[in-house]
């Protein structure tokens, strides 16, 4: 039996099985909006197959780009392999992907209730709470999922590590609590390099592919890894709502996957360096980063292969300090989004989590950092000069109260 390929190798070669037959080496981009039909009958059969969530018949046609595109399909195959899933379905944005997941598991199957584990990305929290999709939502903590399930519950929504405070939830335990109800895990912060929710029993692993999968801040997309049966339901929603990812975006994402493991390793190493520096700073009241509590419940060891490159911190000077720091950095760009090769800083309560109800909104003194590929010493120096410009309250550094990161949780990304 052939040994399984290392994830680094999978990232480079996945989704390319048809290239040799096409006589090409680099990924091709098919920009066709419409496709020739072999005849009326086979054209009609092809349309019906894809409009209801299926794949193009071997002797048929792709018909129309809203239904199918080969460049998108290659990216989907690649991401599915990296996520250890049967299939994946790509969308024009992460929110389009989450919208399709909610619709396919609520109104489409006659179950309107959703259980959402907080904290969540602000856009997801707002979408669920708005009622726009006709869903009724119960928000809960990770240990309250079982008691929140109802007969009409169609979906459990979870994000781990969570946005923006990096809370870690036990995926396998939440799947156990959910029983027969499918669980979707927003895996954006971890990526398939660090975490595979489907291996832990989740029905779906969702990504804002805009972030780490693309990695260069030049494409907006979403993707859901899942079973083929679930993919059919999601493709049906995508076909009728027009949420297909543009083929140029799919090409950029597929190309981005090849360097994802390498990028994640270096960005994680930079993040670890910065976390160790932050916990010694008197201006910082609290640092949010996986592993700082020593992983007392062993969740990190069970479900992740690293701690990632996202950091949140609470500033002692309150909102005034947080506000000053966002505009005082030079290398950290003050901007939303995350996961690119360059470092970003943002204020979640004022931006990404502004629509979230006050009781679930991050505190006004919290900042979120997305660590890029710059030299870690340069990033630390940039934060130091920004801290110096901000009002602060002199107190002992956090390192006197925090548990240092252990080697088990701060080493290179494990295979």
**Helix 70-82, helix 247-257: angle, nearest 10:** 30
Q: Give the dihedral sign, CA 405/407/408/414.
A: positive
Residues in CB range of 18: below 8 A, 6 or more apart = 74
Catalytic member of 47, 64, 121, 289: 121
Query: Of these residues, 125, 170, 186, 295, which one is catalytic?
Result: 186
- 3-class SS at 256? helix
Contact partners, residue 398, CB within 8 Å, separation at least 6: 278, 279, 280, 281, 284, 285, 286, 287
| Cα 14 to Cα 35, 72, 244, distances in angstroms | 26, 13, 21
User: Quick one: tokens of 296?
Assistant: 């007392």
d(CA 152, CA 250): 36
- Is 66 catalytic? The answer is yes
**What are the Cα distances from residue 348, in Å, to 155, 188, 319, 322, 358?**
26, 16, 12, 11, 12
137 bridge partner residues? 114
Kindly name the residue from 55, 118, 211, 314 that is annotated as catalytic. 211
Contact between residue 194 and residue 413 where contact means Cβ atoms under 8 Å apart: yes
Q: Which helix (H) or strand (E) holds 157?
A: strand 153-159
Verify whether residue 111 is a known catalytic residue: no
Q: What's the CA gap between 106 and 156, in Å, rounded? A: 11
- C-alpha to C-alpha distance for 413 and 415, rounded to whole angstroms: 7
Cα distance between the two ends of the chain: 20
| Residue 211: active-site member | yes
> Does the annotation count 186 as an active-site position?
yes
Catalytic one among 8, 30, 45, 66? 66
**Distances in Å between the alpha carbon of 175 and those of 146, 168, 169, 184?**
9, 14, 11, 9
For residue 48, the tally of other CB atoms under 10 A from its CB is 13
What amino acid positions are annotated as catalytic residues?
A: 66, 121, 186, 211
């Amino acid at each position: 039996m052939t040994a399984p390929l290392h994830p680094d190798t999978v990232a480079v070669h996945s989704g390319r099985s048809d290239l040799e037959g096409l006589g090409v080496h680099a990924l091709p981009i098919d920009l066709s909006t419409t496709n020739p039909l072999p005849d009326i009958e086979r054209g009609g059969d092809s349309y019906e197959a894809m409009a209801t969530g299926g794949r193009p018949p071997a002797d048929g046609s792709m018909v129309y780009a809203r239904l199918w595109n080969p460049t998108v399909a290659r990216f989907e195959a690649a991401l599915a392999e990296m996520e250890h899933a049967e299939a994946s379905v790509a969308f024009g944005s992460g929110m389009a992907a989450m919208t399709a997941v909610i619709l396919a598991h609520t109104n489409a199957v006659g179950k309107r209730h959703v259980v959402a584990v907080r904290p969540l990305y602000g856009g997801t929290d707002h979408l669920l709470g708005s009622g726009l999709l006709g869903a009724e939502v119960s928000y809960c903590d990770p240990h309250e999922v079982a008691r929140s399930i109802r007969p009409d519950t169609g979906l459990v929504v979870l994000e781990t590590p969570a946005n923006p405070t990096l809370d870690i939830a036990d995926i396998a335990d939440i799947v156990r609590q959910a029983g027969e109800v499918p669980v979707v895990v927003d895996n954006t912060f971890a990526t398939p390099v660090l975490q595979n929710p489907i291996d832990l029993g989740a029905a779906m692993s969702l990504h804002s592919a805009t972030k780490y999968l693309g990695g260069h801040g030049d494409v907006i997309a979403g993707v859901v890894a899942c079973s083929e049966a679930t993919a059919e339901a999601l493709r049906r929603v995508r076909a009728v709502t027009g949420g297909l990812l543009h083929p140029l975006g799919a090409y950029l994402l597929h190309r981005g996957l090849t360097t994802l493991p390498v990028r994640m390793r270096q960005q994680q190493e930079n993040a670890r360096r910065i976390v160790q520096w932050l916990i010694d700073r008197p201006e910082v009241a609290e640092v949010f980063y996986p592993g700082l509590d020593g992983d007392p419940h062993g969740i990190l060891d069970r479900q992740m292969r690293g701690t990632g490159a996202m950091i949140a911190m609470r500033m002692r000077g309150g909102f005034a300090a947080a506000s000053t720091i966002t505009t005082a950095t030079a290398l950290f760009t003050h901007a939303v989004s995350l996961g690119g090769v360059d470092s970003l800083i943002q204020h979640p309560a004022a931006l990404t989590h502004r629509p979230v109800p006050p009781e679930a909104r991050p505190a006004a003194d919290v900042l979120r950092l997305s660590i890029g590929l710059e030299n870690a010493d340069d990033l630390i120096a940039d934060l130091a000069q920004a801290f110096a410009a901000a009002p602060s309250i002199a107190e002992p550094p956090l390192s006197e109260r925090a548990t240092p990161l252990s080697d088990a949780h701060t080493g290179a990304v494990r295979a």
